[in-house]
């Protein structure tokens, strides 16, 4: 199935390269941008991909547009609202890599089967793709009244689109922690670090649970390890940084974030690292790789269905 990528920045270019190098299901039909001098459009042209610098209007006017079945949007939250409206009359399936969240949240290892038929699916955020599978693994065993994630990425892997959507990142990720991860309340934090050399993406997941049985603790550790393996099947650089920790909540520690009288006896702490595949950017840009890899998995399933 032919696909188009809207957005010729870091994420869009990496996604284009993945479609060409990795997928045996998808074929690049067009690369779309708004800057005629962008590196992404130039690289697409060198690879023999049809390009336009006139945005979605240019895509719709291109020869071969009718043959494109799936459109990836790697622009911004505001732009996706416009792009989705313009593409709606043409019957295209949309995979949204922005925090616009028009369609249902999709994390492939958690809920892809439920939404493979949706017209417009939202890939949440890089932090969401990295951490929501862990929250879901825990919440399937015991209630999670509160979950908090911290995503730390190298400044050099955060392009203009990422920086322009920081607020949307935290809000969208928190909502998805609840809607997809199963937590009663979610919180998300993103950290951009200018450290040199640029560090790989690191993610911390903290879940408060009511679980005093040591056997349940073992089950939580096993469930998280299994989920990490499932994500690593399409994001090879995704891994646990250290063993899963399940420790008691200190006596007397106020847990003001819990609502509805929920009780928490233990904290589950999971520390992750995401190494990029270096298809377009260096390996430290795991935040881009997990988004594009997840989007590729979703589009391939859409095409197969």
Same domain, yes or no, for 97 and 181?
A: no
Query: Can you give the pLDDT at residue 255?
Result: 52
**Is 207 designated active site?**
no
Q: Long-range CB contacts (< 8 A, 24+ apart) of 219-225?
A: 219/141, 220/137, 220/138, 220/141, 220/142, 220/244, 220/246, 220/268, 221/246, 223/137, 223/138, 223/140, 223/141, 224/134, 224/137, 224/138, 224/268, 224/270
Consult the annotation and say whether 161 binds a ligand.
yes
Angle at 293 between CA 70 and CA 64, to 5 degrees: 25
Same domain, yes or no, for 164 and 274?
A: yes
Q: Which of 163, 203, 192 is nearest to 11 (CA)?
A: 163
CATH number at residue 71: 3.40.50.720
Same domain, yes or no, for 189 and 131?
A: yes
Consult the annotation and say whether 237 binds a ligand.
no
Consult the annotation and say whether 254 binds a ligand.
no
Same domain, yes or no, for 104 and 164?
A: no
Same domain, yes or no, for 41 and 138?
A: no
Same domain, yes or no, for 117 and 130?
A: no
Same domain, yes or no, for 244 and 269?
A: yes
Consult the annotation and say whether 111 binds a ligand.
no
Structural domain range at position 227: 126-283
Same domain, yes or no, for 86 and 153?
A: no
| DSSP assignments along 286-305, one per residue | HHHHHHHHHHHHHHHHHHH-
Query: Can you give the pLDDT at residue 256?
Result: 46
Distance (Å, rounded) from C-alpha 35 to C-alpha 37? 5
Distance (Å, rounded) from C-alpha 132 to C-alpha 218? 20
Query: Can you give the pLDDT at residue 169?
Result: 84
Query: Can you give the pLDDT at residue 250?
Result: 74
CATH number at residue 255: 3.30.360.10
Same domain, yes or no, for 100 and 188?
A: no
Consult the annotation and say whether 158 binds a ligand.
yes
Consult the annotation and say whether 38 binds a ligand.
no
Same domain, yes or no, for 150 and 221?
A: yes
Instruction: Encode the chain (305 residues) as per-residue pLDDT tens digits.
Output: 999 999 999 899 999 999 999 999 999 999 999 999 999 999 999 999 999 999 999 999 999 999 999 999 999 888 999 999 999 999 999 999 988 889 999 999 999 999 999 999 999 999 999 999 999 999 999 999 999 999 999 998 887 767 777 888 899 999 999 999 999 999 999 999 999 999 999 999 999 999 999 999 999 999 999 999 999 999 999 999 999 999 998 765 545 446 667 788 999 999 999 999 988 889 999 999 999 999 999 999 999 98
- The catalytic residue among 6, 59, 110, 126 is 126
Same domain, yes or no, for 31 and 94?
A: yes
Same domain, yes or no, for 139 and 267?
A: yes
Q: Based on the structure, what is the number of domains in the chain? A: 2
Consult the annotation and say whether 257 binds a ligand.
no
Query: Can you give the pLDDT at residue 251?
Result: 66
């Amino acid at each position: 199935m032919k696909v188009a990528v809207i957005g010729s920045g870091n994420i869009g270019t990496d996604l284009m390269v993945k479609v060409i190098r990795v997928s045996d299901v998808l074929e690049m039909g067009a690369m779309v941008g708004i800057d005629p001098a962008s590196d992404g459009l130039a690289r697409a042209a060198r690879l023999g991909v049809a390009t336009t610098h006139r945005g979605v209007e240019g895509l719709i006017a291109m020869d071969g547009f009718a043959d494109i079945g799936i459109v990836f949007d790697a622009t911004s939250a505001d732009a996706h609202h416009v792009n989705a409206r313009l593409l709606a009359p043409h019957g295209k399936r949309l995979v949204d890599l922005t925090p616009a969240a028009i369609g249902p949240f999709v994390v492939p290892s958690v809920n892809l089967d439920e939404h493979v038929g949706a017209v417009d699916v939202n890939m949440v955020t890089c932090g969401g793709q990295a951490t929501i599978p862990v929250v879901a693994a825990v919440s399937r065993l015991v209630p999670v009244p509160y979950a908090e994630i911290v995503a730390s990425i190298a400044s050099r892997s955060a392009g203009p689109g990422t920086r322009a959507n920081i607020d949307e990142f935290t809000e969208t990720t928190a909502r998805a922690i609840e809607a997809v991860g199963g937590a009663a309340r979610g919180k998300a934090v993103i950290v951009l670090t200018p450290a040199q050399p640029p560090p790989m993406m690191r993610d911390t997941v903290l879940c408060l649970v009511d679980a005093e049985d040591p056997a349940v603790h073992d089950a939580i550790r096993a469930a998280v390890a299994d989920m990490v393996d499932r994500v690593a099947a399409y994001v090879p650089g995704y891994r646990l940084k250290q063993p899963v920790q399940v420790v008691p909540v200190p006596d007397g520690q106020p847990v003001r974030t819990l609502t509805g009288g929920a009780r928490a006896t233990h904290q589950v702490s999971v520390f992750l690292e995401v190494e990029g595949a270096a298809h377009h950017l260096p390996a430290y840009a795991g935040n881009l790789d997990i988004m594009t890899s997840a989007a590729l998995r979703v589009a391939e399933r859409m095409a197969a269905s």
